[in-house]
Structure 1
Amino acid sequence: MIAAILELPLWQAMRTMGMISFLAITAGVCLGIIYSMPVWSGAVKKKLYKIHSTLTIGGAAIGMLHGMISVIDTYTPFTWSEVLIPFTADYHPVLSGLGTLSGYLLLIVILTTDLRGKLGRKLWMTLHLLAYPAFIMSLVHGFFLGTDSSNPYIQWIYAVALSAVLLTTLVRATIRSLAAGKNEPPRAAVRKEGRAG
């Protein structure tokens, strides 16, 4: 049984899981950004949140499996400590460590979401923003460590993923800025109140 498992194309399976994990995390991050835009009805927000949550948790779970398979891979085997402790791997320690660190950050984001009410909005939001560095670390890990990153299609996937996160972030910032501008009192009214005080 063990011999049969070791004869499987584990490196290819590990790379495929890594790419699926990255795509799910990218989609989860983008949906999380889109979900927070103040333009959706309650029903739409509920659906967006469910899909966002499913993709993020699923992507993180597949990413963890991707790391665990590296322990039994015969091409470049990792030890459990190399998988679990960032930057300790013999094989590309920095790039491997970024993958591990990305997984830990995603776990923090996922686990603290259930504690949102107890943590308070400000702390929860600060922890939730760790999704951004987790995404960047997973992108760098996958692109520079991936054996198929010279493939133009794979390069396009990474480029589109990065563009999608940047674009949705920019759109959200613009919408929030416009909404904040509408809520500000006119400057003349502010000046009059200041003089009266």
Structure 2
Amino acid sequence: MISFLVNLPTWQIIRVTGIVSYILLTLGVALGIAYGLPLWPRKMKTVLYKIHSFATISGTALGLLHGAVTVIDTYVPYTWRELLVPFTAHYDPVLSGLGTLCGYAMLLVILTTDLRNLLKRRVWLAFHLLSYPIFAMAAIHGFFMGTDSRFPGIRLLYLASIVLVVLMSLLRSAFGPAGGMRVSRQAPLSRNTPVTQPSRPGQPEPELVSPGNASRRSERFRDTRHAPPRG
């Protein structure tokens, strides 16, 4: 069993799982942002949520595998302590620590999502918003520590993922936190601004009332109340 693990192509496994994990986490973040846009019918939102959940959980699982394989790697082996305790690795401690923090934070996001019905919305949202710093840490960890970043295609991948998440975030903020387009606040009414009185179905169109004719309308109302009934 030990010889089988030692003979595994660990270096290739580490590289592939790291890149695929990053792609899936990017997809999960982008779809999570897209889910909040008021553009989708209910069925489409269900599909988006399922893909978002699958990408997030799969990306986290591959990320954990990516880290665990470093323990049996023969090229740059990590100890369990270096893997589990952030910033204690002998090789690139800061970048390695960011990878460890990403793993812990993603597990926390997934756990709090499963416990969402037991948590207050503000608490759940605070944990869920960790996805943004997690994405940033994953991008820094992968780009600067990954040996494949020397290839133009991988560099383009990181650039495209960052642009995608930034654009989706800007689009989401344009629609506001409640899912509707932000509108400017209505300007306060001036003294000469006419006000429309609501009318009930079957009644004539409402009369425009302004400060200038409000008193005259009130006098007509009093005259009508005290006028003798028509025979």
Asked if Structure 1 and Structure 2 have the same fold, meaning a TM-score greater than 0.5 normalized by the shorter chain, the answer is yes
CA distance in 1, matches of 2:129, 2:104: 13
What secondary structure sits across from 1:188 in the alignment?
Answer: coil
Number of positions where the alignment pairs a residue of Structure 1 with one of Structure 2: 191
Q: 1:81 to 1:190 in 2, by over 3 A?
A: farther
Higher relative contact order, chain-length normalized (CA < 8 Å, sep 6+)? 1
Residue of structure 1 in register with 2:120 after alignment: 120
Percent identity, aligned pairs only? 49
Q: 1:60 to 1:189 in 2, by over 3 A?
A: farther
What secondary structure sits across from 1:25 in the alignment?
Answer: helix
Q: 1:53 to 1:2 in 2, by over 3 A?
A: same
Residue by residue over 1:131-158, the C-alpha shift from the partner in whole angstroms, topping out at 9 and shown as x without a partner, is 0111111111111111111111110000
Residue of structure 2 in register with 1:53 after alignment: 53
Tell me if structure 1 keeps the 8 A contact 2:32–2:49.
yes
Tell me if structure 2 keeps the 8 A contact 1:10–1:73.
yes
When normalised by structure 1's length, the TM-score is 0.91
Residue of structure 2 in register with 1:179 after alignment: 180
Q: 1:179 to 1:65 in 2, by over 3 A?
A: same
Residue of structure 1 in register with 2:154 after alignment: 154
Max radius of gyration: which structure? Answer: 2
Residue by residue over 1:94-146, the C-alpha shift from the partner in whole angstroms, topping out at 9 and shown as x without a partner, is 00000000111111111101121221111111110000111111111111111
CA distance in 1, matches of 2:190, 2:170: 29
Q: 1:186 to 1:95 in 2, by over 3 A?
A: same
How far 1:44 moved relative to its partner? 1.0
CA distance in 1, matches of 2:174, 2:12: 41
When normalised by structure 2's length, the TM-score is 0.78
Cα RMSD, aligned residues only: 2.0
Residue by residue over 1:20-70, the C-alpha shift from the partner in whole angstroms, topping out at 9 and shown as x without a partner, is 000000000000000011222221111100100000000000000000000
Structure 1 residues 46-125: aligned runs within 5 Å: 46-125=46-125
CA distance in 1, matches of 2:101, 2:25: 14
Q: Which amino acid aligns with 2:26?
A: T
CA distance in 1, matches of 2:38, 2:190: 26
- Of stretches 83-92 and 39-48 in structure 1, the one that deviates more from structure 2 is 39-48
What secondary structure sits across from 1:123 in the alignment?
Answer: helix
How far 1:6 moved relative to its partner? 1.3
